């Protein structure tokens, strides 16, 4: 039954049963679905964590997550699942694929199953295992680490999942509008909404979640994850199950064939450290120019001051020299006028006066 059909619950007796009871009774539980399972050579291993979730389109999905790491890169170190099948594989589609089968999704443990149009950023790999089919698959692992930028924004929080963020955001908006929930909504376990108890509300919730997702997504700020892992399956072999004991059950083995993991990391070409160093270098250059200019200006000012002081000193010295030379000559002349000269002393007088005149002229030229 397609639960997204508007009339899916038109005849449901809400007075006697709840939707939770309906889902639990109409879905396969884990041990009803798996006859055998194992990991790393251990059957029904306790090293696997088992969980489940209900979806409008896919129904109940069981998630199997390893709790330990396997160091064996062969069939003995991987997963083995034996699916029970209660339908005959004779009914096929136009491509000859059996309509009785199992949808298997390989994904990061942080991701959850959502609608096909929203699966692009979850990087889920889909495998369809037909009834009465035995399949072997090897896995290659690729890890991507992106750097959040202004153009391409992503969330670097460890364990972040866009699919979980988006589904929770959409379903919380719908639950708040309708003030009730259905078992297929992905909500926190501690929510306080009651379960819807009439067909009209259930129909509205189904329509809102299925056909008006884009409207609610606009109110969500769910970025893609910066770090994510892609598991790429390669089908090694697939054959029909002919064993009468196993038929029409399905078998699948999933394992790593090599211990090589491809890691692709983005590195910022220009980060904050380089910006800081460039700014410091530019400031240092500008400050260097400023200091040099300041020193040059101070030198020029000091040169002008010293030049003026030197000019003043030279002018003062010249005046003092003139005064001294003029005063000496006048005093000497006065003294000479009062002296009594004779012919014997005249030669000495001229020699003395000539020598004194040369000294005054020499001192004056020096300044």
Query: Where are the chain's structural domains?
Result: 19-265, 273-366
Buried/exposed code over 285-316 (b: 16+ C-beta within 10 A; e: otherwise): eeeeeeeeeeeeeeeeeeeeeeeeeeeeeeee
Residue range 347-351: average pLDDT? 53
Q: Give residue 298's pLDDT.
A: 77
pLDDT, residue 193, reads 93
The DSSP code sequence of 76-129 is GGSEEEEE---S-TT-B-TTS-BSSEEEEEE--TT-----GGGGGGTTPEEEEE
The structure's pTM equals: 0.69
State residue 343's pLDDT score: 46
Neighbours of 158 (CB within 10 A): 9
Q: What would the two tokens of residue 164 be?
A: 């979980």
Residue 347 has pLDDT above 60, yes or no: no
- Per-residue pLDDT at 322: 67
CA–CA dist 306, 281 (Å, integer): 37
- pLDDT tens-digit readout, 314-335: 877 777 766 655 555 544 444 4
In terms of residues, how long is the chain? 367
The DSSP-derived string for 148-162 is --SSS-EE--TT--H
179 pLDDT band, cuts 50/70/90, is very high
- Predicted pLDDT at 364: 44
- Average pLDDT of the chain is 81
pLDDT tens-digit map of 146-162: 888 888 889 999 889 89
Spacing of C-alpha 21 from chain mean position: 43
Give every CB contact of residue 49 below 8 A, 6+ residues apart in sequence.
64, 65, 66, 67
pLDDT at 285 over 50: yes
Burial of 143 (0-12, 13-18, 19+ CB in 10 A): middle
Digit-coded pLDDT (tens) for 288-301: 656 667 677 777 78
Q: Summarize the confidence of residues 220-230 as an average pLDDT.
A: 90
Read off the pLDDT of residues 79-103 as tens digits, 9 standing for 90 and up. 999 999 888 777 888 888 888 899 9
* Band of residue 339 on the pLDDT scale cut at 50, 70, 90: very low
Per-residue pLDDT, 1? 57
Q: Please check the confidence at residue 56 and state whether its pLDDT lies above 90.
A: no
Q: How does residue 175 score in pLDDT terms, banded at 50, 70 and 90?
A: very high
């Amino acid at each position: 039954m397609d639960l997204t059909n508007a009339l899916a619950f038109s005849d449901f007796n809400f007075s006697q049963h709840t939707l939770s009871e309906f889902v639990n009774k109409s879905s396969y539980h884990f041990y009803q679905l798996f006859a055998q399972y194992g990991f790393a050579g251990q059957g029904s291993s306790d090293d696997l964590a088992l969980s489940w979730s209900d979806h409008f389109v896919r129904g109940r999905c069981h998630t199997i997550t390893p709790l330990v790491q396997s160091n064996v890169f062969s069939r003995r170190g991987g997963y083995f699942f034996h699916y029970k099948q209660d339908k005959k594989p004779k009914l096929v589609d136009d491509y000859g694929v059996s309509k009785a089968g199992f949808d298997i999704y390989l994904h990061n443990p942080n991701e959850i199953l959502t609608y096909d149009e929203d699966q692009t950023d979850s990087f889920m790999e889909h495998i369809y295992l037909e009834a009465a089919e035995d399949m072997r698959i090897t896995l290659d692992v690729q890890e991507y680490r992106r750097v959040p930028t202004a153009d391409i924004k992503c969330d670097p929080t460890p364990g972040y999942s866009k699919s979980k963020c988006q589904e929770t955001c959409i379903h919380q908006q719908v639950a708040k509008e309708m003030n009730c929930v259905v078992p297929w909504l992905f909500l926190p376990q501690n929510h306080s909404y009651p379960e819807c108890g009439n067909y009209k509300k259930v129909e509205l919730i189904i329509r809102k979640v299925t056909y008006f997702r884009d409207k609610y997504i606009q109110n969500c700020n769910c970025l893609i994850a910066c770090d994510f892992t892609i598991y790429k399956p390669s089908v090694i072999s697939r054959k029909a199950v002919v064993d009468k004991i196993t038929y029409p059950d399905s078998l699948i083995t999933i394992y790593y064939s090599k211990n090589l993991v491809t890691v692709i990391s983005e590195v910022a070409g220009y980060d904050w450290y380089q910006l800081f160093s460039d700014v410091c270098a530019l400031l240092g250059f500008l400050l260097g120019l400023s200091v040099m200019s300041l020193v040059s200006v101070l030198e020029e000012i000091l040169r002008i001051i010293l030049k003026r002081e030197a000019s003043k000193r030279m002018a003062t010295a010249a005046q003092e020299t003139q005064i001294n030379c003029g005063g000496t000559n006048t005093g000497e002349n006065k003294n000479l006028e009062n002296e009594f000269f004779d012919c014997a002393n005249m030669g000495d007088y001229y020699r003395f006066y000539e020598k004194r005149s040369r000294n005054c002229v020499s001192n004056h030229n020096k300044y």
